[in-house]
Amino acid sequence: MRTFASLLERIPTGRLARNTVLTTGWMAARVAAQACWVVMIARAIGPKGYGEFAGLAGLATTLGALTGLGFGVLMLQDTSRDHTVFGACWKRALVLACVSGAFLMAIYLTIGPLVLDAGIGMLAYAAIGLPELVCFPLTIIASYAFQAHERMGWAGALYTFIPAGNILAVGAFQAFAPQRVLASYLPFHAVGSMLAAACATTLVYRLLSPKATAFSLGKRDVREGMGFSLMRLVETGMTSLDKTLVLKLGNSEIAGIYSSAYRLVSVLAVPATSLGMAVLPRLFRAYSDDRGQHGGLVRRMLVATCVYGLAAALAAWVLGDILPLLLGVQFSGAALATRWLAPLPLIYGLYTLGCNVLVTSHRRYLRVLAQLAGMVLLVATASFFVPRFGLDGAVATILVTQAASALLIWSLVRSGAPRVDARATP
């Protein structure tokens, strides 16, 4: 513990520490609300219903990474540099999110029934697609607007609107739905997401007051936005598409048990990813100003991530037995799956940190290529393991994919790291 504390003390404080606390605090609130929703909905519709939802939503979430075409992140980048452009950036991001979201909804409604064939009807697919392709991206873009103005409290708070809307939805579902089945829940889910998006965008207008401007779109905007969009697509695909593949290649019960175990383990990865995101501005500045300082900060973050990842792995192993108690005996298989997934917080922490290092050292294209390779590996390993080994195959798929992706990312980091000539040292 002393070693871990001394490592954290060496990480620069001030704004970084404040942003880390705010980001971690609100992310913890978001995770707690999300966990509450998972317990409520899983108990209500069982592993088969929850597995169907997770698989269908995973495909929509992956497509939803393209909503807005990266202009939300571009707004964050440009407004952070010059607040006077916020009005134009906000309008551009808002309009393109709505237009692209509608287009992606049409694509999802076309390919969803063909790929997954869940037999739930087109309106049910729409009730899943609307939150993931329109409402949730709008909420995230609103959070970017507050982040661009360095109002990290509001930026983090807006992320809790999504699970809060889900909790309201499942509460209304349990109170008013005639049947406890997935198809009956989905309309409530769509309404909850619409309320979350409406509240988030309203807060932007009330608290940030973006100036009314004419819509404009330049070549540079398209080029930058599409780059961010592609990066987000491959990143989201790595963490969402696995549930869809398990539903497609296995069955809904396996998908439900796997998704519940994955949820618990992903909660334990939150502090490592929060610290990695909070240190991102420092990494950008250090790379531009002092490569030696950049390398030193990366090394300290690497050690801290490893120490926390090992602690999180131990916690996942110990906490595995709580899932059947929370979700019901139908989820008894999730206990063993959680133990096998215990290394995931360490692996994912290293993977996330490596991705951030590549971005801050102006090698974003290498990150995208590595993540694309990871998505290909994810599909290949799932196609081999899941039909043959079921739940064990699903666990093996995500472990093999994330470990190989992390190894590839860090090999790329090492290949471009600046070398210090010892002979030049006085």
The span from the CA of 299 to the CA of 10, in Å, is 11
* Cβ contact 163:26 at 8 Å: no
**397-401 long-range Cβ contacts below 8 angstroms, 24+ apart:** 397/242, 397/245, 397/246, 398/242, 398/262, 398/341, 398/344, 399/340, 399/341, 399/343, 399/344, 399/347, 401/238, 401/242, 401/374, 401/377
Helix (H) or strand (E) holding 349: helix 344-360
Beta strands per DSSP E along 77-203 = none
Q: Which residue has the tokens 């990480």?
A: 11
- Rounded distance, CA 230 to CA 136, Å? 18
Per-residue pLDDT of the chain (426 residues; tens, 9 = 90+): 444 445 444 444 456 556 667 766 787 788 788 889 989 999 999 999 999 999 999 999 999 989 998 898 889 878 887 889 999 999 999 999 999 999 999 999 999 988 887 778 899 999 999 999 999 999 999 998 998 887 878 888 998 999 999 999 999 999 999 888 999 999 999 999 999 999 999 999 999 999 988 888 888 888 888 888 888 888 888 888 999 999 999 999 999 999 999 988 887 887 777 666 666 656 766 666 666 666 777 888 888 889 989 999 999 998 888 888 888 888 999 999 999 999 999 999 899 888 888 877 878 788 889 999 999 999 999 999 999 999 999 999 999 999 999 999 999 988 865 544 333 333
In sequence order, the 6+-apart residues with CB closer than 8 A to the CB of 211 are: 86, 87
User: What is the SS3 string spanning 33-79?
Assistant: HHHHHHHHHHHHHHHHHHHHHHHHHHHHHHHHCCHHHHHHHHHHHHH
Count the helix, strand and coil residues of the chain and give each as a percent rounded to the nearest 5. Answer: 85, 0, 15
Are 359 and 367 in contact by the 8 Å Cβ rule? The answer is yes
User: How big is the CA angle at 74 (ends 70 and 80), to the nearest 5 degrees?
Assistant: 150
218-276, pLDDT tens digit by residue? 888 888 888 888 888 888 888 889 999 999 999 999 999 999 999 888 878 877 776 66
Hey, how many other C-beta atoms are within 10 angstroms of the C-beta on 418? 10
Dihedral (C-alpha) 140, 245, 395, 319: value to the nearest 10 degrees? 40
CA distance readout (Å), 264 to 221, 260, 308, 320, 335: 38, 7, 16, 8, 10
- Cα gap 192→184, rounded to integer Å: 14
Q: Pull the structure tokens for residue 401.
A: 């994919």
Report how far apart, in Å, the C-alpha atoms of 394 and of each of 241, 246, 398 are.
12, 6, 7
Where is 70: in which H helix or E strand?
A: none
Q: Is the pTM of this model over 0.85?
A: no
Q: Which residues contact 299 (CB under 8 A, 6 or more apart)?
A: none
Scan for tokens 């790379």, then name that residue: 287
Say how far residue 48 (Cα) sits from the centre of its chain: 24
One-letter amino acid of 270: V
